[in-house]
Chain A
């Protein structure tokens, strides 16, 4: 019972979506619209589930004094503060329980939720990402060692494209005569992107698409059940 019914649900929903792609007639286009609306609402609850289980796991870590528990506590406190700010005074566009909170806006200069977004969330998120530049630099220095012909090919293309993608590259080869215009770095880099790169990316897209069709089919037909967890 615990497996049969969910699998039937998955089968019905999957087949309905596939059929409504090809059959325009009445019942199907109506059904697909309602299914899509339901999907959006349920996935809203799924995000809610994620947040609550984060809440749970953090509390558990704090309770049994996990080594970094003060940081998890700080995480929970910032979660609570941001949530309370969001619900009480709302965000830039939405009014909260206390309406637009003009008094607090006068004091803080903007809504507290947006204040935290601009001065805490934004710098954290942007800076986290910029770490990548450092990692790519050290990866280029250490990991980018020519091992085989293939990695040689990878490296030469990378150098051409990197030079082609900067203004410096353009100047480096701007002296080329008309006949050899093809070797002008930006043109060469655009050629690599337009033809060999698109060909290989297309091959990856096609084989990935076939893989996805296969996996989706197995899920709809109930052959693939691991998402329900456990025995076949």
Chain B
């Protein structure tokens, strides 16, 4: 009986000497933040127990499973610490248990390899955008096709001036951290500039304080650029409430009371979009809407005269402002779209041909 333990002990001792024992070894989980180790074993036994040495010397059993190509990933570790594991292999035939031990330290890599395709696409689109923006800044003029929704902006202001009624501009119900709100403010600056020239009042109810202050700055700039700093009335750009429905109810009240001739709903909208568009519809105002919120587009398409669909909102702010940065980045987006179309076509072809690796590369198999 003792002989058996002696032999297994020597066996074990020798396995520690080889770089990688064929029975029990530890691999660092590649390409991660060094917080995980994969413990593998290949022992012909029906149940083996994996134990981990705790700092107080005791052994904590982590996992028990069949011995043949046994594998367990221990996570939540610390990259600076060495961890000691041992594998208990009870052998009922010899009624003893031999154990294998191993020590390892998780390594921190500098890159998540499975995110390579993710990084490549992000880099491709970003470099395209930066390239086009730099060129646009150097004065290169890029062509953008006319977006039909924008013609309406010019006639809306003309109509509002004829009727002597104000323009209502709703910059969406989300905060400044929503990109649609920022594009909406870019269109607001162009619109306010036009409104200042035609001496038409512009009302901008805001839902968040940051949007409020940004909108005030933007409209003030527009009035100064139009040479009418004193016509700028800060009180027409005001805060209503943080709550989605308090905000909409407030705007409804304004529409019914002040009867604006032109309504603009540009930015991020949710369920309340129909209340706005329907009440605006009933006051007979000419309405332009624009949002990248797909769930609200049907309502705007149904009840507004013009609707900027999805990315047209971002394109409109670039088209209107002719601002080199926005023009350049729009060309970058178009590059991205061509890239997307090419990738989808290539992906479909490789899938049909049965080469799974192409799609797996883009899925970034975890």
Interface mask (B24-47 → A, CB under 8 Å = 1, otherwise 0): 000000011110000000000000
B320 at the interface (CB under 8 A from A): no
Distance of B266 from chain A, by nearest CB (Å): 14
**Complex contact A54–B274 (CB within 8 A):** no
Bound CA–CA A136/B271 (angstroms): 12
Size class of A's contact patch? 35 or more
Stretch with Cβ within 8 A of B (4 or more), from A92-100, A178-186, A205-213: A205-213
A201-228 CB mask vs B (1 if < 8 Å, else 0) is 1011111101111111111010110111
Q: How far apart sit A207 and B332, CA to CA, in the bound complex (Å)?
A: 12
- Chain B hits for A216, CB < 8 A: 179
| Residue B226 interfacial (CB < 8 Å) | no
Please state if A215 and B242 are interface contacts (CB–CB under 8 Å): no
| Interface check B200, CB cutoff 8 A | no
> For residue B119, which residues in chain A have a CB less than 8 angstroms away from its CB?
22
Mark out the residues of chain B between 206 and 230 whose CB falls within 8 Å of any chain A CB in the assembled complex: 208-210, 212-214, 216-218, 220-221
> B155 an interface residue at 8 Å Cβ cutoff?
no
Complex CA distance for A214 and B221, rounded to whole angstroms: 24
- Assuming the A-B contacts A22-B111, A214-B314, A226-B218, are A128 and B245 also in contact, with contact meaning beta carbons closer than 8 angstroms in the complex? yes
- A201 proximity list for chain B (CB < 8 A): 294
Nearest opposing residue in chain B for A29, CB measure: B33
Partner of A207, one of B182, B277, B310: B310
- Is B130 on the interface with A (CB-CB < 8 A)? yes
Contact B310 A208 (CB under 8 A): yes
Give the most central of A23, A53, A57, A211: most B CB within 10 Å.
A211
CA distance A207 to B303 in the complex (A): 24
| Assembly CA distance A46 to B174 (angstroms) | 13
Q: Is the CB of B108 within 8 A of A204?
A: no
Kindly identify which residue among A46, A54, A138 contacts B278, using a CB–CB cutoff of 8 Å. Answer: A138
The secondary structure that dominates the B interface is helix
Q: Which of A125-178 contact B (CB under 8 A)?
A: 125, 128-129, 131-132, 135-136, 138-139, 142-144, 154
The reply to whether B314 and A213 contact each other, CB–CB distance below 8 Å, is no
Q: A139-B303, A229-B216 known; A46 and B108 CB under 8 Å?
A: no
Interface string of B90-106 (1 = CB under 8 A from A): 00000000000000000
Q: B12 near A: Cβ within 8 Å?
A: no
Q: Are B337 and A217 in contact (CB under 8 A)?
A: no
Q: Are the CB atoms of B218 and A24 closer together than 8 Å?
A: no
**Residue B176 is within 8 A (CB to CB) of chain A in the complex:** yes
**Given A135-B274, A213-B125, A227-B182, A57:B249 Cβ within 8 A:** no
- A208 and B311 contact, Cβ closer than 8 Å, known pairs A24-B32, A51-B242: yes
**In the bound complex, do residue B238 and residue A57 qualify as a contact, i.e. CB atoms below 8 Å apart?**
yes
Interface residues of A in 1-50 (CB under 8 A from B): 18, 21-26, 29, 46-47, 49-50
Q: Could you tell me the distance in whole angstroms from the C-beta of A23 to the nearest C-beta in chain B?
A: 6
Q: Could you say which of A46, A54, A219 contacts B239, with CB atoms under 8 Å apart?
A: A54
A198 to chain B, nearest CB (A): 11
Asked whether A143 lies within 8 Å of B302 as measured between CB atoms, the reply is yes
Q: Is the CB of A224 within 8 A of B325?
A: yes
Partner of A135, one of B186, B275, B297: B275
Residues of A within 8 A of B210 (CB): 46, 49, 227
Q: Determine if A50 and B278 form an interchain contact, defined as CB atoms under 8 angstroms apart.
A: no
Please tell me if the beta carbons of B274 and A215 are within 8 angstroms of each other in the complex: no
Chain A residue numbers with a CB within 8 Å of B126 are 213, 217
Q: Are B314 and A22 neighbours in the complex by a CB distance under 8 Å?
A: no
Partner of B112, one of A22, A129, A218, A224: A22
Q: How far is the CB of A205 from chain B (nearest CB, A)?
A: 7
Interface contact A136-B176, CB-CB below 8 Å: no
Contact of B332 among A53, A142, A214 (CB under 8 A): A214
Contact A22 B242, beta carbon cutoff 8 Å: no
Give bound CA distance, A217 to B127, whole Å: 10
A231 within 8 A of B: yes
A21 to B336, CA, bound (A): 21
Report if A196 contacts B (CB, 8 A): no
* Residues of B with C-beta under 8 A to A25: 33-34, 108-110
- Chain A nearest Cβ from B301, distance in angstroms: 7
A204 adjacent to B292 (CB under 8 Å): yes
Q: Could you mark each residue 285-301 of chain B with 1 if its beta carbon is under 8 Å from any beta carbon of chain A, else 0?
A: 00000001010011101
Q: How far, in angstroms, from A142 to B278 measured CA to CA in the complex? A: 10
List, sorted by A's number, 16 A–B pairs whose CB atoms are closer than 8 Å.
A22-B118, A23-B111, A24-B33, A24-B109, A47-B242, A53-B209, A54-B241, A128-B248, A138-B282, A139-B281, A143-B278, A205-B294, A208-B292, A221-B130, A227-B210, A230-B218
Given A143-B303, A230-B218, 4 additional A-B pairs, CB 8 A: A23-B111, A25-B108, A25-B110, A154-B301
Residues of B whose CB lies within 8 Å of any CB of A are: 31-34, 79, 108-112, 115, 118-119, 122, 125-126, 129-130, 133, 175-176, 179, 182-183, 185-186, 189, 208-210, 212-214, 216-218, 220-221, 235, 238-243, 245, 248-249, 253, 271-272, 274-275, 277-279, 281-282, 292, 294, 297-299, 301-303, 309-311, 313-314, 325-326, 329-330, 332-333, 336-337, 340
- A-B interface, 5 closest residue pairs, ranked by CB to CB distance from nearest: A229-B217, A24-B33, A135-B278, A207-B311, A211-B314
